[in-house]
Structures are given as structure tokens and as C-alpha cells.
Structure 1
Amino acid sequence: MELTHRTILIVGGTSGIGRGLAQRFLAAGNTVIIGGRKPQPQEGLETVRIDVTDPDSILRARDEVLAAHPALDVVVTMSGVMLIEDLRDPAHLAAAETTIATNLLGTIRVIDAFTPHLIAHGSGTILTVSSGIAFLPFPLMPTYGASKAGVHAYTESLRAQLAGTGVEVAELVPPAVATAGQEKVNPAALPLDAYLDEVMELLAAEPTPHEILVKGVLMHRWAERDGTYADLVARRSQSLNTLPNRG
């Protein structure tokens, strides 16, 4: 993937990995727009207000971005929520619905909004964001894993359907990264800068890899192939003891 002189929209780029990626793209010589529900001005980065759970908000953001940046040629779908759920409690359904609406439907809606422009442009990149948890569930966050598995499957089909249009499709598959307090609850979370170093190196490859897999996520991605899946899921299931009345 060419990493300079691009016009890049990162939906969900106002914090965490998304903001870090935006800053890396900016430093590489790109025009970068970050989108979020309450975007704050950031030096060198343009902003757009967008709520991926609101179809009208997505269309307004699309029109605003394309009016200002008709050369837009990269769309990154970073928006996501991670919510704990107790599947023994029917009240978990509200968290499940929020997760699907944001992580999966939000991704699909953003892609739908910008795909016609990219096809008409004749070239471009769509970068979706799934998770290592898409391939190795974390039972404390069941719908998060399901939503990210859905993003992976959708990305595969999107790539097949856009073949021949000049629009490439890649999938960023993060492991736990030390943002938003992750480092406090998961000592194994990768430092953000180290993670982004690997990501930028992988993105620069030609042709662009279908999946952007840093070393720290390989154990998740290939657990079934490597025969470690059942053992790793069992270990990760120990987190369920933190739920009420489970210890």
C-alpha cells in the first residue's frame, strides 16, 4: 500500500489505535481526516462528526468529507466498543445490540457510504478493523468477538466483490494494545508505539497483505491451525470468574 500522498479518512480515529494510526499517516505525508461522535481539534488532522450507529450521520459525514476532499482514496473503519456481558442475565441483550450496531453494522454502513466514490475514483483502499478475538474468543465479551468475526467475514466478501475495480481491501487484526486503560487490565497488551511500528511496516508491503497481522496476534489468528485453540479458550474463560456470583 502506498503510504504517502494519500487522502485518508479514519472513522473512529479520535482515540486509541485510530488516533495513533492517524498521526503516523500524517507524519508520512498524507492528508488525514478523523471521524468520531465528538471529535476534538488535533494539530494537523482534520475532523468530521460521525456516529456510525446513525445512518443519517454517516451520509452527512460522507458528503462533508467528499465536498472538501474529492480525492479521498483511503477509508479506515475503526469505530468499536468492547462490552462485558453475562449471558446468564437476559439484560445483556442491550450490550449485545449496541455492540453489533457499532462494530458490525457501523462498519458496513461506512463502507457502503464510500464504496461508490472509491469505485468511481478507480483506485483506493478500504481498511477494516477486526480483532484477534475474532479468531480466538474472549468469553467475557461474547458479542464483541462475534461482531469482529462478522467484520472478518464481511471483509473477505467485500474483497471478492471489489476485485477488478481498483479498490483494494485489507483487514487490520489487532491484539490487545495498551490504549484506553488496557495496560492496567492486561499486562500482555502491546505498547501502542511498538504496535504501530509493525503495522506501518506491514501496510507498506506491495501488494498490500489481505490481513495486517503483527507478531503479537499470530497466536490468536492461527490457534485452530496450530492446535492450541481449546487450551487458549479455556484459559481465557477464567475471566468469567470476575462476573457476579461466578467466583
Structure 2
Amino acid sequence: MIISGRRRAHLDEVIAANPGMEAIELDVADPASIDTVAARLIADQPDLNVLINNAGIMLPDRAAGRIDDRLLVDTVNTNLVGPIRLTSALVEHLKGKDNALIAYTSSVLGFVPMAVTAVHSATKAALHSYVLSQRFLLKPARIRVLEIAPPWVRTDLMNSREAEQAMPLEQFIAETMSILATDVDEILVENAKAFRSNPGPNEHALVNGFNQQALALFSAAA
């Protein structure tokens, strides 16, 4: 297993705690970094047959007013453009491998957007759309394309580690690993299923109710 990220110190901490892992520095928002890392992986790891796209930014924005341009560009590049570029750099290599798999971490916010993180939610909706297209097109190459769509989980995103309403990380991991052992293409834990089923002509009720609750939570935490 090879993990990647921008910060070498964080990578070293993870591989020190998990003997057998390797790490490589990668900035998914930088096309040159993607090209360099992809070429190195193909040369050094010719048997590589799995790619998991997991990078993400989630910050509050101002969809009702002027959006900070740096936040907008960074979020779109990291959450959407980066995974597309990285997959594009490796997909021809993966076509020649047995049991090849590409996975993307999207979010239930791609189905039910959170108004206070409108840009993040929009990137996840776009990523879901891209996954549907790529899954269809890669069927002849026998490459599985998975989408992991987490609900609210206790992670560093939006300082959620202590959020009681969020799903415990250990529970999310356990449920996700169990589903990954099946042949489904969308990895949805139980807490995510209502969000996935929501889009349609009557979707506004859940979207509005969800955002009213979210605003109340953020206001109470402020």
C-alpha cells in the first residue's frame, strides 16, 4: 500500500505506525506533481492495480454573497480537478492490470448539499456525475469504478472530531470495509442511504430541513 499527501511529516507518521506501507509526496492540485508521481509509480510499481482518490477540502463559504476566489479555486482543484487528473494519468496503466479498481471518496453532500459549504457540496455532486460516466466507459476494460459517499463522520473536516451527531469514525470504517467486500459500486453506510435516495422532483424538503438543522448546529457552536 502506498499513501500520498502534501506533508511529508504526516506521511512519515502514518508509515511509522503501519509497517509495510510506503509513502510518496503528492499535491493533487498541481498538474506537474501528478504527472511526476504517476510516472514514478508506473516505473517503480508496475503491478499497481488500485487507485483510491481521497483528497478533499471542506470550508465554509458564502453562497449568498461574494465567494472568496482562493477558496473556490482551491476547493474545485482539490476535490474535483485533482482526482480527475490523477486518474487520467494512471488509467491507461490500470487498463492492463487484472482486478483493476478506481475508487473516489465523494460525500452524501453531493446528493443533499450543505448550504454553508456550497462549493464543497457542488464539487462532490460533480464528482458523482463524473464517476457515473467513467464507470460506464471503463466497463469494457473491466476496471471497477467505486464511489464511497460518507455521511457526517467524526474527522478533522469542519472540526467534527467531537461532534456527537456525526458518525463515529471506527463505525464508519467497519461498515465501509464490510460493504467493500461485496460487489456493489456505491459504498453507502446505513447513515448515507436516505441522502442517496433523496434527489428527485421532491428533493427540496430534505435539503431545506437538513440545512435548517445544520445552521442551528453551527450557530450553537459559534
Q: TM-score range by the shorter chain?
A: 0.7 to 0.9
Pair 1:126-2:88 in alignment: no
AA partner of residue 215 (structure 1): E
Residue 101 of structure 2: SS of its match in structure 1? strand
AA partner of residue 209 (structure 2): R
Residue 90 of structure 1: SS of its match in structure 2? coil
Q: Trace 1:55-204 onto structure 2 (pairs within 5 A).
A: 55-180=31-156, 181-184=159-162, 186-204=163-181
Preserved CA contact (<8 Å) 1:173 1:211: yes
Residue 84 of structure 1: SS of its match in structure 2? coil
Q: CA deviation at 1:52?
A: 0.5
Q: CA deviation at 1:60?
A: 1.1
Structure 1, 84-93 or 189-198: larger mean CA deviation: 84-93
Q: CA deviation at 1:120?
A: 2.2
- Ranges in structure 1 where 5+ consecutive residues have no aligned partner: 1-31
Cα distance between partner residues in 1 of 2:188 and 2:197: 11
CA displacement, residues 86-105 of structure 1 (integer Å, 9 cap, x when unaligned) = 12332433312211111000
Cα distance between partner residues in 2 of 1:149 and 1:91: 19
Residue 63 of structure 2: SS of its match in structure 1? coil
Cα distance between partner residues in 2 of 1:93 and 1:128: 25
Cα distance between partner residues in 2 of 1:123 and 1:223: 32
Q: CA deviation at 1:64?
A: 2.1
Cα distance between partner residues in 1 of 2:86 and 2:93: 12
CA displacement, residues 22-79 of structure 1 (integer Å, 9 cap, x when unaligned) = xxxxxxxxxx100101132213221011001101101111122222211001100001
Residue 116 of structure 2: SS of its match in structure 1? coil
Pair 1:38-2:7 in alignment: yes
Residue 47 of structure 1: SS of its match in structure 2? strand
Cα distance between partner residues in 2 of 1:123 and 1:166: 8
Structure 1, 134-143 or 61-70: larger mean CA deviation: 61-70
The aligned counterpart of 1:20 is none
Aligned pairs, number: 210
CA displacement, residues 172-206 of structure 1 (integer Å, 9 cap, x when unaligned) = 1111111113133x42211111111111111111x
AA partner of residue 185 (structure 2): H
- Ranges in structure 2 where 5+ consecutive residues have no aligned partner: none
Residue 120 of structure 1: SS of its match in structure 2? coil
AA partner of residue 212 (structure 1): I
Structure 1, 148-157 or 61-70: larger mean CA deviation: 61-70
Residue 96 of structure 2: SS of its match in structure 1? helix
Change (3 A) 1:240 1:177: closer
Residue 56 of structure 2: SS of its match in structure 1? coil
AA partner of residue 142 (structure 2): G
Preserved CA contact (<8 Å) 2:134 2:145: yes
Which of 182, 196, 210 in structure 2 is aligned with 1:236? 210
Residue 171 of structure 1: SS of its match in structure 2? strand
Aligned CA-pair RMSD: 2.2
AA partner of residue 179 (structure 1): T
Cα distance between partner residues in 2 of 1:176 and 1:108: 24
Change (3 A) 1:225 1:108: same
Residue 126 of structure 2: SS of its match in structure 1? helix
